[in-house]
């Protein structure tokens, strides 16, 4: 347990700020340079955009959306880009150097982290927004946020601090929760803990589906684990902007 917490603290110290818009811009730059180098060739099946997309674990039309700035490339895909096409990771994640320059040798701290199996590529967004377990707060989405990685925690995730005791003893005030966004609300599982995002508010609660007399899913019932002090309440499913499954809780890191 000491090693795990120590590793988390070490990685928290190397948190970096990543502007998602800038990441997309750098991706477009790399893509066009790969075209100029004939690594991507439109009418060549083995070098087509589709073949390129497969190496990044996605589809050709998704790449087009990235190039048109309609969607944002994921961190896992950037890592695949760097691995398969020898792209400079420091350029992609931090804007340092040029896309295809030789990567410098890691410093002693990075070499130690590599020996311990720690990946420096950030995949967890730490928001500047605290989600209160017992209250609602405004959702302030900024382009620039902090990103970090924890050993063994994979996927594109979001993290924030909890302030409130409505989810005690499961989640305490001051804990950090790490969440995985659901693609659709249909992925939700009743009675598990989610961050429920509406247009103006965030709640961290256990969630249940509520149905009308025609068996249509119309509402969500939000339930506190500290049910002796906090009553359940109901919101319309149409109010829900996003659901994020709470995957991990970090506590006592200070």
Predicted confidence (pLDDT) per residue in 38-48, tens digit: 999 988 888 99
User: For residue 210, what are its two tokens?
Assistant: 């509520």
- Reported in sequence order, the residue ranges of 103-201 that DSSP labels E, i.e. its strands, are 124-126, 144-148, 157-161, 176-181, 193-198
> How many distinct structural domains can be found in the chain?
2
CA distance 46 to 67: 20
Predicted confidence (pLDDT) at residue 61 exceeds the cutoff of 60:
yes
Q: Which range marks the domain in which residue 173 is found?
A: 125-250
At residue 55, the pLDDT reads 92
- Answer yes or no: do 152 and 199 share one domain: yes
CA distance 68 to 91: 21
> How wide is the angle at C-alpha 100 spanned by C-alphas 154 and 153, nearest 5°?
5
- Write the DSSP symbol of residue 103: P
- What is the CATH number for 58? 1.10.260
Range from 7-11, 122-126, 164-168 that averages highest in pLDDT? 164-168
- Answer yes or no: do 102 and 144 share one domain: no
- Answer yes or no: do 85 and 150 share one domain: no
Question: 7: burial class by Cβ within 10 Å (0-12, 13-18, 19+)?
Answer: middle
**Interstrand relation of 124-126 and 157-161 (parallel, antiparallel or unpaired):** parallel
């Amino acid at each position: 347990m000491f090693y795990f917490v120590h590793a988390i603290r070490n990685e928290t110290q190397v948190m970096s700020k990543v502007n998602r818009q800038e990441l997309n811009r750098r991706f477009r730059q790399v893509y066009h340079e790969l075209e100029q180098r004939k690594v991507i060739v439109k009418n060549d099946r083995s070098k087509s955009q589709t073949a390129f997309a497969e190496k990044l674990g996605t589809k050709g039309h998704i790449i087009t959306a990235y190039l048109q700035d309609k969607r944002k490339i994921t961190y896992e895909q950037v890592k695949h880009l760097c691995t398969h096409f020898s792209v400079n990771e420091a350029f992609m994640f931090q804007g340092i150097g040029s896309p295809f320059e030789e990567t410098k040798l890691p410093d002693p701290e990075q070499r130690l982290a590599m020996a311990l199996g720690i990946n420096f590529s950030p995949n967890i967004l730490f928001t500047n927004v605290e989600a209160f377990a017992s209250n609602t707060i405004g959702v302030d989405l900024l382009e620039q946020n902090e990103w970090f990685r924890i050993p063994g925690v994979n996927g594109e995730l979001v993290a924030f601090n909890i302030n409130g005791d409505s989810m005690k003893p499961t989640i305490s005030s001051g804990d950090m929760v790490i969440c995985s966004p659901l693609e659709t609300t249909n992925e939700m599982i009743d009675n598990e803990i989610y961050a429920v995002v509406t247009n103006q508010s965030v709640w961290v609660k256990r969630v249940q589906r509520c149905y009308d007399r025609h068996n249509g899913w119309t509402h969500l019932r939000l339930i506190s684990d500290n049910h002796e002090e906090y009553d359940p309440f109901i919101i319309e499913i149409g109010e829900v902007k996003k659901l994020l499954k709470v995957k991990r809780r970090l506590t006592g890191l200070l």
